[in-house]
Amino acid sequence: MTAWQPSASIAALKQRAQIIQQIRTFFAQRNVLEVETPLICEHTVSDPYLNSFTCVDPTNQQTLGFLQTSPEYAMKRLLAAGSGDIFEITKAFRQGEAGKQHHPEFTMLEWYRVGFDHHTLMDEVDSLLQLILGVPAGERVSYSQAFENTLHLNPHTATVEALSHAAQQTDATIHFEQRDDWLDFLFGHVIGPGLGHGKPTFLYDFPASQAALARIRPDTPPVAERFEVFVNGIELANGYHELNDPVEQEKRFTDDLAKREQLGAAGIPIDTKLLAALQHGMPACAGVALGLDRLLMLALGVSNIAQVMSFTDPLSHLHDTA
Amino acid sequence: MARYNTSEFKSGLKIMLDNDPYNIVENEFVKPGKGQAFSRVRVRNLKTGRVIERTFKSGESVEAADVIETEMQYLYNDSTEWHFMVTDTYEQFAADETAVGDTKQWLKEEDRCMVTLWNGQPLSITPPNFVTLKVTDTDPGVKGDTSGGGSKPATLETGAVVRVPLFVQIDEVIKVDTRTGEYVSRA
C-alpha cells in the first residue's frame, strides 16, 4: 500500500493557515510590504556551512542557478531600490539538512525594517512571539553572558584549550581546528538547549568572527550586532543590524569563499548584483529570518517538523525514519 | 572495510568506535543557522550493551562494523560452547559463554534464534520472544487450586527459574516470554 497521506494532521494544517494569516495581519498593521522573490536565484549564499541545491538547464546541462537558502540577497536589492520595510514568507532550501528540526525544503519568514537596529528589531520579534505563541516578553542575554552563565567562560577571550576542555566534558572524542567551531559546538550542545524556557531568550552581540552579514561594532572586544531567538531550546530566528558597506561586504564574501575552499565546500560565484546594490546605497536597517515551521512546531507543541508540513515524502529518505 | 558518512547515519546502522562494534540507536541532526553541523548519535555497544552518546561533524565518516544478524537453529551445548546452524546452508557457528550470556537459560535444542555475527563470530544471541519449556521441578502446591491467585518458583528443562501459578506441576509444558522472563500460559 502506498503511503500517500500528509505528514501533518489536517487540524495542524488549519492552525498553520491561521498563524500565517495572523503574521500577514501583524505586518499589514505595521505597514510592512509583502514581497515575493525568486526561488531559483542566479547567486546563492556564501556561508561556508550552507549548501545549495543547483538547478540545471535540461537543454544544455548548464547551471541555471540555485534554489535559494534564504531570500536575503534579493530582499536587500529591493531595499536598495527603495522598497522601504518589507517581509516575505517563502520556501527556502538547504541541502543536507534533515532532522527533527530540519527539512531540506522549509518555510522562512524574513523581514527588514528601515531605521531599526538589532535591539529595536528584537522588540518587534518579541511582539510577534507574544502574539503567536502567547509567551511572556522575552529576556535579553548577550552571547558572552550566556557563556559566562553556563560555562563560566568568556567566549571572546577564552583560550582554545579552555574551550576544548569544556567541550570534552560533553564528548571526550570531539576535536576541531578552528576556535569558532569549539564555540559552535559548546553553543549548540550545552548552551542553546537551555535557552528560552518559560520565556523566549534573545541572544545578542555575537563574536565578530561570527558576524555573517551583521555590522561589527568596534567595542573592546568588537562584537557583531547580530541576534538569535530561542524558545524551548529551539533556535527560531537569526537577525542582524544589517551590514550595508559594499567594501566590507565584498571582504566577507572573499573570506567565506576562502573558508569554503578550505572546508571542501562547493565554490560559488560572488553576488555582484548585491554588491552593486550596496554601492548604490541600501538604507540602514535591521533584518531577521525566522523558521516558520519551527514557530508552528512551538505553537502546536509538536517535536518533529514533519508534523507541521503537508508532505515531506519527496525528501523523506534524507531523514532517519526511526 | 566500508565507511559510512554522517549523512548515511540512521538507527540500526552498525559502526566501529574505539575498536568495538556499535549499533546506532538514535541519530539527531544538529545545526545552528550559522556554523558547523553535527550528527549527535546514541549508540549501543554490541559487546557490552552499554549506551553512550557521540557527536560527529557533518561529513565525517566512520568505519562500518561487519555485523549481521542471521536466524539459526540452536543445536547443542558441549559444556564450553553453544553450537548454532544456518538451516539453509548447514553452516555451523560456535558461541562462547560471553556471547550467549543470560540467553543460555532459554536455549532449547532445535529452537530458532537470532545470532548476531561480528566478523563472522557470534557476538550475541537473541532467543525467540516466546519459548515452550518443560517444568522439571516445582513444589506440588495446593491440590485443586486453579484460581491462579499466587505463584511459586519452577525450574525449567533449560535451567531457567520462573514464577508460575500454583496449579502448574512437574512435567507440564509452559510458555514463557523471554524478554521479561515471565510465565505466559500452559503450552
pLDDT tens-place string over residues B80-127: 999 999 999 999 999 999 899 889 999 999 999 999 999 999 999 999
- pLDDT value of position B147: 58
User: Mind telling me how many Å the CA of A171 is from chain B's nearest CA?
Assistant: 6
Residues in chain A whose Cβ is within 8 Å of chain B: 47, 49, 96-102, 170-171, 173-174, 176, 180-181, 184-185, 187-189, 192, 210, 212, 228, 235, 238, 264, 289, 318, 320-322
Question: Closest to B53 (Cβ–Cβ): which among A99, A171, A181?
Answer: A171
> Residues for chain A: how many in total?
322
Nearest 10 degrees: Cα torsion B71, B75, B78, B81: 0
Whether a cis peptide bond, with omega within 30° of 0, leads into A221 is yes
pLDDT above 60 (res B145): no
Grid cell 575552499 in the structure block, residue: A261
Residue B146 cell numbers, joined: 486453579
Grid cell 548447514 in the structure block, residue: B90
Cβ-based contacts of A264 with chain B (< 8 Å): 59
User: Mind telling me how many Å the CA of B101 is from chain A's nearest CA?
Assistant: 28
Q: Which helix (H) or strand (E) holds A214?
A: none
Question: Closest to B11 (Cβ–Cβ): which among A184, A318, A320?
Answer: A320
Residue A30 cell numbers, joined: 505595521
Residues in chain B whose Cβ is within 8 Å of chain A: 7, 9-12, 26-38, 40, 53-55, 57-59
- The Cα A267–Cα B66 span in angstroms is 36
- pLDDT value of position B79: 85
User: Mind telling me how many Å the CA of A96 is from chain B's nearest CA?
Assistant: 7
Could you tell me the residue ranges of all domains in chain A? 10-138+199-318
Contact B12, A322 (CB under 8 A): yes
DSSP string, A85-97: SEEEEEEEE-TT-
Question: Closest to A97 (Cβ–Cβ): which among B11, B31, B57?
Answer: B31
Burial of A92 (0-12, 13-18, 19+ CB in 10 A): buried
**Is it true that domain A10-138+199-318 has CATH number 3.30.930.10?**
yes
CB-based contacts of B136, cutoff 8 Å, min separation 6: B155, B156, B157, B170
- pLDDT value of position B35: 84
Put simply, the answer to whether B28 touches A212 (Cβ < 8 Å) is no
* Digitized pLDDT (tens) for each residue of chain A, 322 residues in all: 688 999 999 999 999 999 999 999 999 999 999 999 999 999 999 999 999 999 999 999 988 999 999 999 999 999 999 999 999 999 999 998 999 999 999 999 999 999 999 999 999 999 999 999 999 999 999 999 999 999 999 999 999 999 999 998 888 788 888 888 899 899 988 999 999 999 999 999 999 999 999 999 999 999 999 999 999 999 999 999 999 999 999 999 999 999 999 988 888 899 999 999 999 999 999 999 999 999 999 999 999 999 999 999 888 777 654 4
- The Cα A285–Cα A102 span in angstroms is 28
Question: A230: nearest CA in chain B?
Answer: B32
- pLDDT value of position B164: 93
Question: B56: nearest CA in chain A?
Answer: A174
Count A/B contacts: CB-CB distance under 8 Å.
73
Q: What is the mean pLDDT of residues B16-42?
A: 91
Q: What are phi and psi of A122, to 5 degrees?
A: -60, -40
At residue B187 the predicted structure's pLDDT band, cuts being 50, 70 and 90, is: confident
User: Mind telling me how many Å the CA of A185 is from chain B's nearest CA?
Assistant: 8
**Residue B70 β-bridge partners:** B115
Please state the pTM of the whole predicted model.
0.84
Question: Closest to B32 (Cβ–Cβ): which among A170, A171, A235?
Answer: A235
Whether the CA torsion A237, A241, A245, A248 is positive or negative: it is negative
Q: Mutate which of B31, B40, B44, B56 to disrupt the A interface (most A C-beta within 10 Å)?
A: B31
Question: Closest to B7 (Cβ–Cβ): which among A96, A176, A184?
Answer: A96
Put simply, the answer to whether B34 touches A192 (Cβ < 8 Å) is no
Question: Closest to A189 (Cβ–Cβ): which among B9, B55, B59?
Answer: B55
Predicted ipTM of the assembly: 0.83
CA-closest candidate to residue A238, choices A187, A190, A277, A284:
A187
Q: Which amino acid is at B54?
A: R
- The Cα B113–Cα B130 span in angstroms is 11
Question: A288: nearest CA in chain B?
Answer: B33
Burial of A227 (0-12, 13-18, 19+ CB in 10 A): buried
- The Cα B34–Cα A49 span in angstroms is 7
- pLDDT value of position A322: 40
pLDDT tens-digit series, residues A98-123: 999 999 999 999 999 999 999 999 99
Q: Which helix (H) or strand (E) holds B127?
A: none
- The Cα A99–Cα B28 span in angstroms is 6
Put simply, the answer to whether B54 touches A180 (Cβ < 8 Å) is no
Q: What are phi and psi of B118, to 5 degrees?
A: -120, 120
